[in-house]
Structures are given as C-alpha cells and as structure tokens.
Structure 1
Amino acid sequence: MTRCQVPAFLIHQIQEELDKDEEEMMVFLCRDLAPDLATADLKEILVALNEREKLTPVGLSELLYRVKRFDLLRRILNTEKATVEAHLARSLRLIPDYRVLMVEINENLEKDEVGSLGFLLRDYAPRMKMAKDKSFLALIIDLEKLNLVAPNQLDLIENCFQSIHRIDLIRKIQKYKHEASVSSVHSQPVYVNAHQASLPNLNLIDPPYHSGIQNENIEKLQKGSSLTLAEPLHMSIEESGSVPHKMSDDSYRMQSQPLGICLIIDCIGNDTDVLEKTFRGLGYDVHCHRYLNMNSMNQKLLEVARWQKHKYCDSFVCILVSRGNSQSIFCTDHTFSGFPLEQIKKYFTADSCPGLLGKPKLFFIQSYVVPENEQECSSLLEVDGNAENISSKVTIPHAADIFWSHCKVDVSKLEQSPTSSSYYLRCLAELLHNPYKRKRCILAIHMELNKKVYDGNMTVDPSQQYSLLLQHTLRKKLFFPT
C-alpha cells in the first residue's frame, strides 16, 4: 500500500456505518471517478478507487463531509469538519461541483416532490422507467444515460423545479451555472457524467443530444459552403470534439501570447465593452474603436493589417458593428454608398498581410440593415487595392483560413431600442465566456449560436428577426484556449 492509499479496514468500517440513503449519495458522488463501475456497490467503488490511487484520506474525508457524516470524520479519520472545509476552500476537491449540487438538491426534496418530478419527466423521457420509490439521484442518473442532463445541461431540471414551485432550487442551479461560467478550468476541473465518459470520441461536456440529425449541414461547413439561418442546428459527434482537446495536425495552433490581435469597430456603441472583456479574457490583444466614419475605418483597417506583430500571433479577430446593407457597412457617415465587406476581408488575406499566412482569421459582423429606399449613394471613399464588383449576395470568402459570421437585422430594431446590444453578439460573448463551451471547436460553437439566434427569433415579430450567415474556408479545427 502506498502512502496516498487508504487502509482497507477504514473503507470497511465506514461502509458499515452508512445507511442506505448515505450509500446511494456516496455512490452518486463517485460516478465520474470510476465510470466503468457505474453499477457497482459502494465498497467495490471505494476499493477500486483506492487501488487506482484515486482515493486518498483527504478524498475520503470529502466524501464523508458531502454526506454530512461529521461524526465519522472525527471517530474514524481523526479529522474535523473545519479541516475538510479548509482543504475544499483551496480547491483540493475530489468530487465535481455538479455532483455536489445534485446531492444538495436531493437532500432538499420531499418524497412527494420527487414523485411529482418523475411524473413531469414523462413528457421528456417517456421510455424512462419511473419506479414509484425512485430517488431524485436515481432520476438524475437515468436522465444522464439519455443525455438529457449533464454538468452543463440543467435546463430540463430547472423547468421541472419551476413546475413544482421550488424557486430556491432554481437559484441553486443558477448560482452553479454562474460560478462555472466565470471559473477557470485550471482552478476548477471540468467534469463529465459517467455515462458520457464511457463513450468514445464524444464531447463529454455538452453532448450531441440530437447527433446525426444535421450531418449534411456539418459537411457543408467543413467544405466551406454557406449556411443560412433556417432551422436550429445540432452537432454531430465528429464536430462536437473530444475532451480535453490537444493540438494535433488537424487543428490550428492557438498557444501564442497574446493569442492574436482583436480589432473591434463599433459604430453603434452598444457592444464594445462586453466584446472587449470576452476577447481579452481569451488572451487577445484587444483594440476598440467607436463611432468611426468610413475613411477613419479604412485607415484603421490598413494600419492594423500592416502590423508586424501578426507574425508572432496565432490568429486574428475582427468584429464590426454598423448600419449597412447585405454587402456593405456605412459606419457613421450620413451619405454613403457603403464600404464593401469583401474589401475588409481582403486586407487580412495572406497576400495583403503575410504575418497571418496559414493562421485563422475570424470576422464577426453585425449589420443593421437600412432599407434601399433610405440609402444614398454619394460617398467618394477610395480603398486600397482593386475593388471587386460586389453582387447582391456576399460571395464566399475564397482565401484560406477565414471564418466569416455575418448577422443582419432590420435597422428598425436599433431605432426602437437605441441602447440595446446585439442579441447575436451577446450570445456569442456568453458562449465564448463559458469554459465548457470552449472545449468545442469554433464550428460547433457557432452552430449553438445559430440555434440561440433562431430560438430568439421565435419570440419576436418577423420584421425584428436576426438572419445569420456563416461562411468559412478553415482548413483545420479551431479551438479557443480553455
């Protein structure tokens, strides 16, 4: 036995002291630590963890603390509740926060409430066996097996708690979500449920709940084809990625410090702060500019494209927010023909910006579309390079390593609420801010963004709906650092 292992007689002694409910809780807490032993009893699980050197006296103390057997902490392990809490405060944790949350909720539910939850879940999982005396933790395990509940997929449980008027439990879940979204995976490990951990090549944090449905759309994305917002998208297994991501020949290098230049030009002024915080948090050197006219924007784009520092970075991001039409943006100019979006892209292709050769270049465009009868064509703006004839539909970017996300909404949306942020950009920031989501490649993240925008459209007037177009010529998978 090594120094980090627990004597077998202690495991036996503790198991003998626990009642049936406490054993169930402890087995549930350990599910992610030994996913291959999902059907084993507590003693088998603890012995296996001990043999694999995953169970230490400190870890065993945490388990007893989580099931509130403070008497056993003192009597068998000769430690105190305060000592365990001090270890947990330093993030020396064996058990995932998700498991702890579910056990806490379990302890706060009455038997009749668990029965009500089982009844409500018939609408979502009609084939799930609903035994009369099934515990809340047993329900959660069944839902995990159906990929309806996961560490980052708790909306279903929230909806059920809403139905039984347990707002206090909803607040617990929302607090957990908030803490998970702002914590770094370096200080708070990312965990998965046991069923997902047993499946190969599967995104363990955010599983493809409807995998296989949209393979055709995903193939289009991989080939660089256009994808318009028409219906909600779900990831295939291939695009959801695996955990944790390691750089390989089929993924872009994303390790430089800074990760790259992020240029934000916000001619409306409502989105700069949240975008700056998001991309600075990802490791980008962020440069923000508000309320530029077209000449100023053109000069700024040229200046940034000529920076030598690109050659020391692994990527580039450009975000534009402005009034415009399908092929141009207007900036703050009152008289305009518009600045061609294609020209913006050309400034950063490899022939114009050699420092970005072979590196991913990401563009996120929010256009507030002005009706044609309100547009004026009197701009004399000159741009570098030969301007191409722009058709009524933006062409697919032909240069390599470009990711082009263009969202359009009628300018009346802005006029009705001049200080409101873009729903598209707000959702983008939320997804990129979440370390769980960043375990997935950019295409998978964008498909979830597509779904969020589509779902948001369902609740508004057609004239106020967002339209989202994704075009790309990426040659590899792109993962943001976690």
Structure 2
Amino acid sequence: MTRCQVPAFLIHQIQEELDKDEEEMMVFLCRDLAPDLATADLKEILVALNEREKLTPVGLSELLYRVKRFDLLRRILNTEKATVEAHLARSLRLIPDYRVLMVEINENLEKDEVGSLGFLLRDYAPRMKMAKDKSFLALIIDLEKLNLVAPNQLDLIENCFQSIHRIDLIRKIQKYKHEASVSSVHSQPVYVNAHQASLPNLNLIDPPYHSGIQNENIEKLQKGSSLTLGAAEPLHMSIEESGSVPHKMSDDSYRMQSQPLGICLIIDCIGNDTDVLEKTFRGLGYDVHCHRYLNMNSMNQKLLEVARWQKHKYCDSFVCILVSRGNSQSIFCTDHTFSGFPLEQIKKYFTADSCPGLLGKPKLFFIQSYVVPENEQECSSLLEVDGNAENISSKVTIPHAADIFWSHCKVDVSKLEQSPTSSSYYLRCLAELLHNPYKRKRCILAIHMELNKKVYDGNMTVDPSQQYSLLLQHTLRKKLFFPT
C-alpha cells in the first residue's frame, strides 16, 4: 500500500455508517473524479479512487465534512471539523465547488419543492425520466446529461428556483458565479468536468455536458486560437470575429452588438406568420429576408444561397424561422407529395464548417411544423441536396456543432385545416416575448422557458388533438441576450 492510500477497513467502516441519502450525496460529489464509474455504488467508487491514488485520508475527511458527518471525522479518522476547514481554506480541494454547491442546495430543499422542480422541468426537458421520488441530485445528473445544467450553465436552475420562490438559493448560485468569475480572472484553477471524457461527440440530439473547459483551452480562446468542445471540430473565435467587448461579456455572454445584429431568414410555407415575425426581428436589429410558399427545391437553393453570404462575417448571430407542413423529421414546404426535406440538413448548412462566417456565433432556429399523419403522406422521389452524398432517406447524422439553439414546435395539421388563416400560437407567443424589452433582459433560455409555459397553458383550453408540443435542443456555450 502506498503512503497516502486509505486502509480498506476505513472505507468499509465509513460506508457502513452512512445512510442512503448520505451515500447519494457522496457519490454525487465524486462524480467527476471517476467518470467511468457513473453507475457504481459508493464503496466501489472509493475503492477505485484509492487504487488510482486519487483518495487520501485528507480527501476522505473532506467528503465526510461535505455530508456533515462530523462524528465520523472524530470517531473514525481522528480529526476535527475545524482541522478540515483549515485545510480547505489553505489548499486545493478534492471536490469542485459546483458539486459542493449542488449538495448544499439539496440539503436546503423540502421534498415537495423537489417535486415542484421535477414538474417544472417536464416541459423544458421532455426526454428526462421523471420519477415522483427522484431527488434533487438525481435531477441535476439528468440535466447534466442533457447539457441543460453545468458549472457555468445554471440559468435553468435559477429560473426554477424563482418559480418556487426560493430566492435564498438563487443568491447561493449568484455567489458561486461571482467567486468563479473572480477565480478565473486571477488565473486560478478552473474546474474541469472529468465526466466529459466519457461522453459522445457534441451533437444536437444528446449534447454533452461540456462546460468543463481545461485551462489551456480557455487560454487559447482568449488568445484567439482554436477551442475544442469534446470531440467536435475545432471552434475558432478570433478577435475580429468576436469583436472587442468587455471582459465580462466575452467570458459569459455572446457578443450581440453588430449592426445589423445578423441575418434573419424567414421561410413561411403557410403564409400566416411572416408579417409579425418580420416586424419582431427587424425591431431587434436583424436584416430580415422573407420568403413565402417555397417548394423544397426552392427552399434548398435559398438556404444554400444564404449560408454562402459573406455578410455573416460582420454579424454577431443568425436566425432561421421555418413554417411548414411536415413530419417529426422533415418539412414538406408547398410540395404536394411528401418526400420531406430533413431538418438535420438545415442545421448542416449553417455549422462552422459549412458557413465559416458564423464560426463561434449563436445560430437560432425556430421551427413550426404542422404534422401530417403518416397514413396521409405520399411517397415520391427524394430531393437531392448539396453538401453530402449520403442518401437522406436514411437517418441523417446531426452535425457536431456548437452555438446552435433549436426550438421545434409541432401541432397536428388539422389545426391548420380548421383555421387556414390563423397564425401559429407558438410563434405569436415568441414574438410577444421578444417584443417586450423587459423580457429581453433575460437570456434566451429563460425566455424559452416562459414560452413553454405560455404554450402549454394554452393547451389546457383546447382539444388534445389540437395541442402544441415543444422541444428545445441547444449547444450554446454562453448566455445569449437580445438587445434591450
């Protein structure tokens, strides 16, 4: 046994003394130290850390301190709470501050409040498995897997705490953010999420929890060199592209100051929403280009044309809005036969490799699909699209791309058939929220959460067959605020 290893009998003795909740907290605290053991129990994790020489008596003391088992500190490890606190104050810690914060919040939540959080998150993360007895820490792990929560991505949790009136917990998060930003400014060690190493490449279906960026990558980003997110293609953000912006904005938020703010492409194949959308995005400072009633070939050519524009290079963002009949994976435009234009292909046209002018800049997509039942869809030859030689009739792999915000709303086509001239309730609510300067003080994720609420509240008053469903997927790396 090496000098700093922990005797196995101590690990066994401590594990025997902990209750189920304390074990869960300790496993959560160790999550980034052994990312390959995400499903292991506490004893397996501690033994593995010990064998890898990552666990010392001092580290074990910190773990017990974090779960407030001060009695075990004294009885098993022969140390005192004050001794551990003094060590934590003067040296590097085993557990990242983010994990500590989540455990502290967990201890301050009542069971009914955790239930309320789970309910609020149903709209925002429909792919999460919501069990009634799920703990706060289990919710956080699920959100991390969906890239909705990370050490530098806590807006969603803050908004949820706002909804349940836990201002005290919001203050805890804000204090953590402040201390993290101060630490970063003074070049202190930045928290690296070890769990990132075990995740698949960055994509829009299941985007990884990628907030843990190593120090050398942060330094490259600040110097204008390439930054790699997971196994994605290198993301280059030069001074020319990102602009000269205050330190806080460049670190925490996307630059949104160019004039125009960006290109806004609106393709409305139904024809009911163009006017209000054009007015909204012109008001935000976008150069808006509207096209109604395009067939699939025309839309494909228009997307390619816009993606090749050099003017993206001088703008800070891009917006694309599509309104069309379709199915879950494709849109039909005005074509009478339904081969479908794959939505994934639209994303590909505006990723950094296809559209270099949008490198490192937010790309926002808002899709309203009027879903045609499968038994009413007709088969025809598939549309050939530029860019890739693959057959788009098979499932198209979603690109490895950062800085994409994808909001997709679906409703049965019968909604349109009953009211042929009615606008989309989803797009109408979006326009109302973006038109309000007070609402624009919040980041796009918070705005979308309110959009979720409006849409699902509206569903309560209509027949189930006429209800809207919303899905948000994103790979944003920073907060995104529209100008106020």
TM-score, normalised to structure 1's length?
0.50
Q: Secondary structure at the match of 1:246?
A: helix
* Change over 3 Å in CA distance of 1:201–1:316 after alignment to 2: closer
Which is worse superposed, 37-46 or 203-212? 37-46
* Contact 1:245–1:439, Cα closer than 8 Å, also in 2: no
Distance 2:289 2:91 in 1: 35
Which is worse superposed, 413-422 or 95-104? 95-104
Deviations 1:138-172 (A, max 9, x none): 99999999999999999999999999999999999
* Contact 2:150–2:211, Cα closer than 8 Å, also in 1: no
Residue 178 of structure 1: how far off its partner (Å) = 35
Distance 1:141 1:150 in 2: 10
* Change over 3 Å in CA distance of 1:448–1:80 after alignment to 2: same
Distance 1:122 1:406 in 2: 16
* Contact 2:192–2:212, Cα closer than 8 Å, also in 1: no
Residue 336 of structure 1: how far off its partner (Å) = 2.5
Q: Secondary structure at the match of 2:79?
A: coil
Unaligned runs of 5+ in 1: none
* Contact 1:184–1:435, Cα closer than 8 Å, also in 2: no
Distance 2:309 2:355 in 1: 8
Distance 2:387 2:128 in 1: 63
Residue 13 of structure 1: how far off its partner (Å) = 75
* Contact 2:317–2:363, Cα closer than 8 Å, also in 1: yes
Distance 1:404 1:146 in 2: 14
Q: Secondary structure at the match of 1:249?
A: helix
- Tell me the residue number matched to 2:181: 181
Distance 2:301 2:127 in 1: 61
* Change over 3 Å in CA distance of 1:61–1:454 after alignment to 2: same
Residue 385 of structure 1: how far off its partner (Å) = 1.8
* Change over 3 Å in CA distance of 1:379–1:26 after alignment to 2: closer
Residue 74 of structure 1: how far off its partner (Å) = 75
Distance 2:271 2:46 in 1: 56
Distance 1:208 1:121 in 2: 18
Q: Secondary structure at the match of 2:132?
A: coil
- Tell me the residue number matched to 1:367: 369
* Contact 1:73–1:80, Cα closer than 8 Å, also in 2: yes
- Tell me the residue number matched to 1:351: 353
Distance 1:438 1:117 in 2: 24
Which is worse superposed, 125-134 or 58-67? 58-67
* Contact 1:214–1:235, Cα closer than 8 Å, also in 2: no
Unaligned runs of 5+ in 2: none
Residue 296 of structure 1: how far off its partner (Å) = 0.4
* Contact 1:196–1:204, Cα closer than 8 Å, also in 2: no
Distance 1:390 1:166 in 2: 48
Deviations 1:111-150 (A, max 9, x none): 9999999999999999999999999999999999999999
Deviations 1:373-425 (A, max 9, x none): 11112144210122667799997663111000000000000000000000000
* Change over 3 Å in CA distance of 1:52–1:465 after alignment to 2: same
Q: Secondary structure at the match of 2:235?
A: coil
* Contact 1:31–1:193, Cα closer than 8 Å, also in 2: no
Q: Percent identity?
A: 100
* Change over 3 Å in CA distance of 1:449–1:395 after alignment to 2: farther
* Contact 2:319–2:364, Cα closer than 8 Å, also in 1: yes
Distance 2:462 2:11 in 1: 58
Deviations 1:24-52 (A, max 9, x none): 99999999999999999999999999999
* Change over 3 Å in CA distance of 1:150–1:66 after alignment to 2: same
Residue 244 of structure 1: how far off its partner (Å) = 14
Distance 1:147 1:350 in 2: 20
* Contact 1:218–1:239, Cα closer than 8 Å, also in 2: no
Which is worse superposed, 387-396 or 65-74? 65-74
* Change over 3 Å in CA distance of 1:235–1:361 after alignment to 2: closer
Distance 1:203 1:393 in 2: 14
Distance 1:382 1:111 in 2: 54
Distance 1:126 1:87 in 2: 43
Distance 2:376 2:129 in 1: 61
Residue 301 of structure 1: how far off its partner (Å) = 0.4
Deviations 1:350-369 (A, max 9, x none): 10000000000000000000
Residue 247 of structure 1: how far off its partner (Å) = 2.4
* Contact 1:233–1:447, Cα closer than 8 Å, also in 2: no
* Change over 3 Å in CA distance of 1:221–1:352 after alignment to 2: closer
Distance 1:40 1:391 in 2: 40
Deviations 1:215-257 (A, max 9, x none): 9999999999999999999999999999999724111000000
Q: Secondary structure at the match of 1:355?
A: helix
* Change over 3 Å in CA distance of 1:2–1:68 after alignment to 2: same
* Change over 3 Å in CA distance of 1:473–1:375 after alignment to 2: same
Which is worse superposed, 414-423 or 377-386? 377-386
* Contact 1:264–1:287, Cα closer than 8 Å, also in 2: yes
Q: Secondary structure at the match of 2:395?
A: coil
Distance 2:377 2:31 in 1: 61
* Contact 2:363–2:404, Cα closer than 8 Å, also in 1: yes
Deviations 1:83-104 (A, max 9, x none): 9999999999999999999999
* Contact 1:317–1:361, Cα closer than 8 Å, also in 2: yes
Distance 1:269 1:8 in 2: 70
- Tell me the residue number matched to 1:202: 202
Residue 2 of structure 1: how far off its partner (Å) = 72
- Tell me the residue number matched to 2:234: 232
* Change over 3 Å in CA distance of 1:451–1:404 after alignment to 2: same
The number of residue pairs the alignment matches comes to 482
Distance 1:143 1:277 in 2: 35
Distance 1:126 1:204 in 2: 15
- Map 1:118-137; keep pairs closer than 5 Å: none
TM-score, normalised to structure 2's length?
0.50
* Contact 2:339–2:380, Cα closer than 8 Å, also in 1: yes
* Change over 3 Å in CA distance of 1:73–1:251 after alignment to 2: closer
Which is worse superposed, 442-451 or 93-102? 93-102
Residue 347 of structure 1: how far off its partner (Å) = 0.3
Which is worse superposed, 441-450 or 99-108? 99-108
Residue 71 of structure 1: how far off its partner (Å) = 72
* Change over 3 Å in CA distance of 1:439–1:334 after alignment to 2: same
Residue 266 of structure 1: how far off its partner (Å) = 0.1
Residue 461 of structure 1: how far off its partner (Å) = 0.6
* Change over 3 Å in CA distance of 1:143–1:212 after alignment to 2: closer
* Contact 1:262–1:284, Cα closer than 8 Å, also in 2: yes
Residue 435 of structure 1: how far off its partner (Å) = 0.2
* Contact 1:27–1:45, Cα closer than 8 Å, also in 2: yes
RMSD of Structure 2 on Structure 1 (CA)? 15.5
Distance 1:399 1:126 in 2: 22
Distance 1:398 1:21 in 2: 38
Instruction: Give the 4+ runs in structure 1 shifted more than 4 A.
Output: 1-246, 387-397
* Contact 1:259–1:285, Cα closer than 8 Å, also in 2: yes
